[in-house]
Amino acid sequence: MKKLYGQFTEDEKEMINTILKGINTKSVRITFHAKSRMKEKDISFRDLFGIFKNYQIIEVHEKDGDIRVLLRGIFRDTLGRNTCCSYSVSSNTIVTTYKNSFADNHYTLDCNNYINTDISKLLKPYVN
């Protein structure tokens, strides 16, 4: 199940933002894959964790019980790219990270891959 942030109800937006604002970045784990991508894409820990202070939510998706949020940082690097990451709410882990051009508006995005469904039940256990 994947849902675009633009499809969220106000309650769902409030829930996901409450979850994200409550993250203690000192306790967030980073997968080996994400660390490899950081090195490959020249992403610093400061860039990566800065996402949690100033972000844009792209989507929430759930697969096999793992709830992940795709986040895009709002700050640009010298090449005009934003740092993005997939964060697992379920395991408090950054799964992957990459850079994306700030001008990329995802015009090729296939909205048929997204479902406009109620995700509040998925998010509720993680709201403090």
Smallest CA-to-CA distance from 114 within 51, 65, 71, 58 is with: 58
The answer to whether the beta carbons of residues 90 and 65 sit under 8 Å apart is: yes
Q: Residue 98 — very low, low, confident or very high, per pLDDT cuts 50/70/90?
A: very high
Q: Residues, the chain, total?
A: 128
The answer to whether the beta carbons of residues 123 and 16 sit under 8 Å apart is: yes
Q: Which residues contact 81 (CB under 8 A, 6 or more apart)?
A: 99, 100, 101, 102
pLDDT at 107 over 60: no
Q: What is the pLDDT of residues 38-85, one digit of tens each?
A: 999 999 999 999 999 999 999 999 988 999 999 999 999 889 899 999
The fraction of the chain above a pLDDT of 70, given in percent, is: 95
pLDDT at 114 over 80: no
What is the average per-residue pLDDT within 19-38? 96
